[in-house]
């Protein structure tokens, strides 16, 4: 049977789905509001790290542009501040990688076109949907955080917050030496927020993404409010002061003479309300619209899951489109059964990390600092949020994990 699939939005979700479908010769059209040429010189979109499970999925999609070891990183360096700071490392089973999405998305758009996909460039509004329903057997809405996604109702039972839990300030910086071995640093300033430092490939080579996750009302929130353009020097000095006070293992690697934002567009400030939306709506009697990526589940970026989940869900949806002929409510149930364990685990785990830590979580962190195998498992679980959530979903599970490790250490 001929299947005509329409995708709205050419982010990671829409493009991974489109590339999967083209590998199976399914006719597919992406309608999106940004041409590939519009990305160079535009404002930073995000600072996304792809974990090794996503890199493996990309290889399956034929995306092989950045498989160079010089662009990879290998571990997480954890720092927990406080009266007795903890500093430890966890390794991945295989390398991870972060590429500036202003490079990544246009490259994938070109790959999609080269694979026989069609792209139409325009902004889609709610009133255009009935026309799209007439053209396609299934419409996938992967428009990220924009308003079109609000056509899917918000699921209150899975969306506990009504406002951002962190005020974000993220930029691409120069003048920071990589940690050794090259890795992402996750630095926690208790009660104030977190810093995620990511070695990132951008237009002119490697730079350092600093993603400050600042607790509203705390000492670091100013980083999400201050204008760089109004006072570039004052902004950079404030970043340095906050790094020194709250995130010292990153501060120690800063070369102050070279430290700065790569360019004035390489800074993004704001906040995200973690939200889950319904999986589909009927556009007419025969055609459904399915929510994908951030439209379906948007999460705070603290543990770097949104794009990795969008990719996972895109390929699950693609596999089901290839396997099935009828795109009805039962079709979406099958997709949800396969995508949701991982996607919702990522969201719940992220939400747990946004809340003040429980005593059990603090105990886990303390134990990780002295138990390398535990830190490695926690780190590699960034690839498998459902496994992380199996470990963290309740205090009893955290205690069971700690007991298991104690037995393993005693036996070693």
Interface residues with ligand FAD (CB under 6 A) are 8-14, 31-34, 46-49, 123-124, 142-146, 148, 168, 170, 211, 268, 293-294, 301, 304-308, 310
In the complex with ligand FAD, which residue's Cβ is closer, 46 or 165?
46
CB of 165 to ligand FAD, least distance (A): 14
Separation in Å, CA 247 to CA 82, 115, 252, 327 = 11, 45, 9, 50
CB of 403 to ligand FAD, least distance (A): 31
What does the DSSP 8-state code read for residue 254?
Answer: B
CB of 356 to ligand FAD, least distance (A): 22
In the complex with ligand FAD, which residue's Cβ is closer, 136 or 401?
136
In the complex with ligand FAD, which residue's Cβ is closer, 112 or 401?
112
CB of 217 to ligand FAD, least distance (A): 20
CB of 363 to ligand FAD, least distance (A): 27
Which backbone phi and psi does 355 adopt, to 5 degrees? -85, 160
In the complex with ligand FAD, which residue's Cβ is closer, 166 or 371?
166
CB of 9 to ligand FAD, least distance (A): 3
Looking up tokens 């543990």, which residue turns up? 303
CB of 380 to ligand FAD, least distance (A): 15
In the complex with ligand FAD, which residue's Cβ is closer, 34 or 65?
34
In the complex with ligand FAD, which residue's Cβ is closer, 121 or 264?
121
In the complex with ligand FAD, which residue's Cβ is closer, 277 or 398?
277
CB of 26 to ligand FAD, least distance (A): 19
Task: Supply the DSSP string of 16-44, one letter for each residue.
Answer: HHHHHHHHTT--EEEEES--GGGSTTSPP
The C-alpha atoms of residue 198 and residue 72 are separated, in whole angstroms, by: 10
In the complex with ligand FAD, which residue's Cβ is closer, 49 or 402?
49
Task: Supply the DSSP string of 131-194, one letter for each residue.
Answer: HHHHH-SEEEE--TTSGGGGGSPB-GGG---SS-SSEEEEEEEESBPPPSS-EEEEEEETTTEE
**Tokens at residue 169, please?**
């300030």
Buried b (16+ CB within 10 A) or exposed e, 147-166: ebbebbeeeeebbeeeebbb
Contacts of 140 (CB under 8 A, 6+ apart): 5, 6, 7, 8, 14, 17, 289, 290, 292, 317
């Amino acid at each position: 049977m001929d299947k005509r699939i329409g995708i709205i939005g050419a982010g990671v979700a829409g493009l991974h789905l489109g590339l999967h479908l083209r590998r199976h010769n399914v006719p597919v059209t992406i309608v999106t509001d940004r041409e590939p040429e519009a990305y160079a010189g535009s404002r930073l979109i995000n600072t996304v790290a792809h974990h090794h499970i996503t890199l493996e999925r990309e290889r399956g999609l034929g995306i092989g542009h950045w498989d160079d070891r010089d662009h990879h990183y290998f571990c997480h360096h954890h720092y927990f501040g406080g009266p007795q700071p903890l500093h430890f490392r966890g390794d991945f089973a295989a390398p991870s990688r972060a590429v500036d999405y202003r490079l990544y998305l246009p490259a994938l758009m070109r790959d999609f076109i080269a694979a026989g996909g069609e792209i139409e460039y325009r902004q889609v509004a709610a009133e255009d949907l009935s026309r799209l329903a007439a053209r396609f057997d299934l419409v996938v809405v992967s428009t990220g955080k924009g308003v079109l996604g609000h056509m899917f109702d918000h699921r209150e039972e899975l969306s506990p917050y009504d406002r951002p839990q962190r005020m974000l300030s993220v930029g691409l910086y120069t003048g920071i030496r990589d940690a050794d071995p090259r890795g992402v640093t996750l630095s926690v300033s208790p009660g104030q927020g977190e810093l995620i430092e990511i070695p990132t490939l951008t237009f002119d080579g490697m730079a350092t993404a600093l993603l400050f996750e600042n607790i509203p009302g705390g000492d670091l929130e100013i980083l999400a409010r201050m204008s760089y353009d109004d006072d570039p020097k004052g902004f950079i000095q404030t970043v340095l002061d906050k790094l020194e006070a709250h995130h010292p293992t990153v501060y120690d690697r800063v070369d102050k003479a070279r430290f700065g934002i790569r360019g004035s567009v390489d800074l993004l400030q704001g906040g995200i309300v973690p939200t889950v939306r319904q999986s589909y709506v009927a556009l007419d009697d025969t055609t459904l619209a399915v929510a994908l990526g951030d439209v379906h589940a948007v999460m705070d970026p603290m543990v770097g899951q949104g794009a990795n989940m969008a990719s996972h869900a895109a390929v699950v949806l693609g596999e089901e489109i290839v396997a099935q002929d009828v795109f009805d409510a039962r079709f979406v149930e099958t997709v949800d059964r396969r995508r949701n364990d991982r996607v919702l685990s990522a969201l719940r785990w992220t939400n747990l990390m946004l809340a003040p830590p429980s005593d059990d979580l603090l105990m886990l962190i303390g134990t990780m600092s002295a138990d390398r195998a535990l830190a490695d498992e926690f780190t590699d679980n960034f690839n498998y949020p459902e496994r992380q959530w199996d470990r963290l979903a309740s205090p009893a599970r955290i205690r069971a994990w700690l007991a298991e490790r104690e037995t393993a250490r005693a036996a070693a």
